[in-house]
């Protein structure tokens, strides 16, 4: 037997053993290997599907996060605007109340000044009247010391009273 050309018997037995091994592998080995490969393929596909699902959820969560941030910013600006409006309203109200109070105080002060002015004028008139009466009294006493002058003064007053009655 030569190494280059095998014998027919050797070739037969080698082919028979090969077919038996191939049949055994075909019957038991390949289905197990194919099953393992299919199972592995299914696990890989399931992992890919889960990864895609996780990626979609992550994208959804990112969108929700952006939306929440946008809503929070809108809420923050609304609250700041409301606070600013409330502050301006309070300032405006305080200013109006202060102006009303100032106007009331000014009116009271004007009324008080007018009242005190009237009182002062009355007091001055009263004092002027008293001084005039005192001066007149002194002048009349001096002039009325003489009896003829008293008679002339009484006549003059009576004449003036008659003229006032006629008018």
User: Is pLDDT above 70 for 1?
Assistant: no
Report the predicted TM-score, pTM, of the whole model to 2 decimal places.
0.41
67 domain residue, yes or no: yes
Alpha helices in the chain (DSSP H): 8-24, 30-143, 147-166
1 domain residue, yes or no: no
The burial of 97, by beta-carbon neighbours within 10 Å (0-12 exposed, 13-18 middle, 19 or more buried), is given as: exposed
88 domain residue, yes or no: yes
CA–CA dist 51, 154 (Å, integer): 134
Q: Are the CB atoms for 48 and 39 separated by under 8 Å?
A: no
User: Is pLDDT above 70 for 74?
Assistant: yes
Q: Are the CB atoms for 40 and 49 separated by under 8 Å?
A: no
Q: What is the reported pLDDT for 52? A: 96
42 domain residue, yes or no: yes
Q: Are the CB atoms for 143 and 149 separated by under 8 Å?
A: yes
Q: What is the reported pLDDT for 96? A: 94
Q: Are the CB atoms for 144 and 150 separated by under 8 Å?
A: yes
3 domain residue, yes or no: no
Longest dimension (CA), the chain: 202
3-state SS assignment for residue 132: helix
Higher pLDDT, 95 or 139: 95
User: Is pLDDT above 90 for 166?
Assistant: no
94 domain residue, yes or no: yes
**Could you count the other beta carbons within 10 Å of the beta carbon of residue 144?**
15
Q: How confident is the model at residue 2 (pLDDT cuts 50, 70, 90)?
A: low
CA–CA dist 167, 84 (Å, integer): 76
CA–CA dist 42, 51 (Å, integer): 14
Q: Are the CB atoms for 108 and 116 separated by under 8 Å?
A: no
**Which residues form the domain of 30?**
8-166
3-state SS assignment for residue 114: helix
40 domain residue, yes or no: yes
2 domain residue, yes or no: no
Q: What is the reported pLDDT for 143? A: 62
Domain count, the chain: 1
Give the mean model confidence (pLDDT) for residues 75-84. Answer: 95
Both tokens of 52, joined, read 């895609």
Give the mean model confidence (pLDDT) for residues 80-100. Answer: 95
Q: Are the CB atoms for 16 and 8 separated by under 8 Å?
A: no
């Amino acid at each position: 037997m030569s190494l280059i050309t095998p014998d027919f018997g050797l070739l037969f037995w080698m082919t028979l053993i090969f077919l038996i091994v191939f049949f055994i592998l075909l019957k038991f080995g390949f289905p197990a290997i194919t099953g393992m490969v299919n199972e592995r393929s299914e696990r890989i596909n399931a992992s890919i599907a889960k990864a895609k699902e996780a990626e979609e959820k992550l994208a959804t969560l990112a969108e929700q996060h952006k939306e929440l941030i946008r809503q929070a910013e809108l809420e923050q600006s609304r609250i700041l605007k409301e606070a600013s409006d409330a502050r301006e309203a309070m300032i405006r109200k305080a200013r109006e109340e202060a102006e009303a109070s100032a106007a009331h105080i000014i009116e009271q002060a004007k009324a008080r000044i007018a009242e005190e002015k009237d009182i002062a004028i009355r007091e001055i008139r009263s004092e002027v009247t008293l001084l005039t009466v005192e001066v007149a009294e002194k002048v009349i006493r001096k002039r009325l010391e003489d009896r003829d002058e008293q008679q002339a003064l009484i006549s003059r007053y009576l004449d003036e009273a008659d003229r006032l009655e006629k008018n």
